[in-house]
Amino acid sequence: MSDHPTQTPSTHELASRALAASTILAGLDTQLKNALLNDLADAIDRDSHAVLDANRSDLRSATERGLSEAKTRRLTLSASSISQLSAGIRQVAALPDPVGTCTQERVVPSGLKVRRVRVPLGVVCMIYEARPGVTVDAFALCFKSGNACLLKGGREAFESNRALSEIVHQTLRRHSLPEASLTLLTSTDRQQMKELLQLDTLIDLVIPRGGEELIRFVAENSRIPTIQHFKGVCHIFVDAGADVERALRVCLTAKASAPATCNAAECFLIHQRIAQSFLPQLVRGARDAGIELRACERSLRIDPTLRHATADDFGREFLDMVAAVRIVDDVHEAITHIRRYGSRHTEAILSNDQGAINDFRRGVDASCVVVNASTRFNDGFQLGLGAEIGISTTKLHAYGPMGLEELTTQRFEVGGDYQTR
C-alpha cells in the first residue's frame, strides 16, 4: 500500500474528465435521461433531511461571518424549497428533449439535403454564489440537453452544494453513468477560478450567476464564451389606463414576495394622471408590507413623509424591502427612464391602453417585457422551462431565462449523392 496521500486532481484534469463525460451524455437516449432525472427528484425528496442539515451548517457559518441578510435569504433552504427543487427536476424530465431536433430542412439547387439540428454545447461551467438550489437546477438542465457541467459555488453554500452533488453522484452511479457528468469544484481560491476561465479547449460556455463583482470578474478574465446575468433592476410602469386596485396588488407582491431575487421590482413608475390617487395607496400598502419607498421630487409633493431618493437609488438593485418610486408624464418618459436605469432584465407595464402597451413593448429593451403581470414571472419555472440555468441579459446566444434549448446549439447536417460542387 502506498504511503502517499491521494493527490487532488488539477482543474485541468477535472475539466478533461467533464469533456470525456460530455461525449457520453451527448448520445444518451431521451428515455434514459428522463428516468435518471425522475430518480434524482425522488432521491432529493428522500434525502432532504441531509440537505437541510448541511444547509443549517452553512447558515451557522454565514452568521459567524456576518453574511448580509439578502445573501442569507438566498442561501436558506427549507422543506418547501427542496420540494420545489425536485418538482423542477421532474418538470425538466417532462419537457421535450431538444437534442436531435430538426429546426430547418430544405433541398438546395445542387440537390443536397440540408438540415439544421440541435446538438449539445459540450461542457458548461457555472459559477454562482449563495444559491445551493442552482447545483441541481444546473445539473438537470445540462444533463437533459446532453451537456456535462462544471459547478463552482460560493463558499457560503459549501456544505449544501456538497450534499446535493453527492445525491446527484449517487444517482449517476445507479444508472452507470460517469460522475464527471457533474463536477463540483470545491476550492474557494480565486486562482482556481482564473485557471478555470483559461480552459477554452475543454469548456464550451461559462455562466456566472451572482453579484455584479463576480460577473465582471468572469467577463474580464475568461477566454471562454460567457453568458452574463447582470443585476436585475426591474421596473413596473403603472399607466393611466391601469386597473388601479389590481395594479397595487401587483406592485406590492412584485417587491415583497421575494425582495432579494433578481426579478423583484426595484422601481415603480407612476403616470402623472393617476399619481394623486395611486401614490397614497401605494405608500399605505408599502408601509403595511414593510417596504421602504424612496421618492422623486414630484412624489414628495404628494407625500412629504417619504424618504427622498438619491441619484443612486434609481438604477440600484436593492435586494431588500426597499424600492424607488417616480412620477412620469407618460409611457414615453417611462421608456426613457428605463433605457437610462434598467439592466435589460425584466420590465412591466400595467395598463388597459393597447396603444401604450404597444409603445412600451417596442421601446423597452429587456430580456422579458411583461404586460399586466408581475416582474416575478420572468423565471424559468414560471415560463414553463422547468428549472433555469440563469437569465441572460446579453443577446448572444440567449436572451432571458435559459432553459434546455439555450443549452444547445445548431449544426448543419448535409446529405448528398456524391456531388462534388
Nearest one of 359, 330, 333, 335 to 347, comparing CA atoms: 335
- Residue 163, amino acid: A
Nearest one of 182, 71, 136, 166 to 388, comparing CA atoms: 136
- Mean pLDDT is lowest, of 118-127, 197-206, 253-262, 343-352, for 253-262
pLDDT, tens only, 257-290: 989 889 999 999 999 999 999 999 999 999 999 9
State the pLDDT at residue 1: 43
State the pLDDT at residue 325: 98
State the pLDDT at residue 376: 96
| Mean pLDDT of the chain, nearest integer | 94
User: What whole-number distance in Å separates Cα of residue 349 and Cα of residue 326?
Assistant: 14
Determine whether domain 11-227+402-415 maps to CATH 3.40.605.10.
Answer: yes
- Mean pLDDT is lowest, of 170-174, 217-221, 355-359, for 217-221
Higher pLDDT, 393 or 287: 287
State the pLDDT at residue 292: 98
Strands of 102-107's sheet, edge to edge?
Answer: 102-107, 113-120, 408-415
Q: What is the pTM of this model?
A: 0.89
Mean pLDDT over residues 123-146, rounded? 94
User: What whole-number distance in Å separates Cα of residue 167 and Cα of residue 171?
Assistant: 6
Q: How confident is the model at residue 4 (pLDDT cuts 50, 70, 90)?
A: low
Nearest one of 53, 48, 240 to 136, comparing CA atoms: 48
State the pLDDT at residue 187: 81
Does residue 6 carry a pLDDT above 80?
A: no
pLDDT, tens only, 63-87: 999 988 878 888 999 999 999 999 9
State the pLDDT at residue 297: 97
* The CATH homologous superfamily of the domain defined by 234-377: Aldehyde Dehydrogenase; Chain A, domain 2 (3.40.309.10)
User: What whole-number distance in Å separates Cα of residue 60 and Cα of residue 185?
Assistant: 22
Does residue 7 carry a pLDDT above 80?
A: no
pLDDT, tens only, 12-24: 999 999 999 999 9
Where, residue-wise, is CATH 3.40.309.10 in the chain? Answer: 234-377
Rounded to whole angstroms, what are the CA distances from 63 to 58, 60, 73, 91, 140?
A: 9, 5, 12, 34, 30
Mean pLDDT over residues 28-55, rounded? 98
Where, residue-wise, is CATH 3.40.605.10 in the chain? Answer: 11-227+402-415
Mean pLDDT over residues 197-219, rounded? 92
Does residue 58 carry a pLDDT above 50?
A: yes
| Peptide bond connecting 332 to the previous residue in cis, omega within 30 degrees of 0 | no
User: What whole-number distance in Å separates Cα of residue 198 and Cα of residue 202?
Assistant: 9
* Bridge partner residues of 118 (DSSP): 410
State the pLDDT at residue 2: 46
Highest mean pLDDT of the ranges 125-139, 290-304, 397-411: 290-304
Q: Which three cell numbers stand for residue 9?
A: 486532481
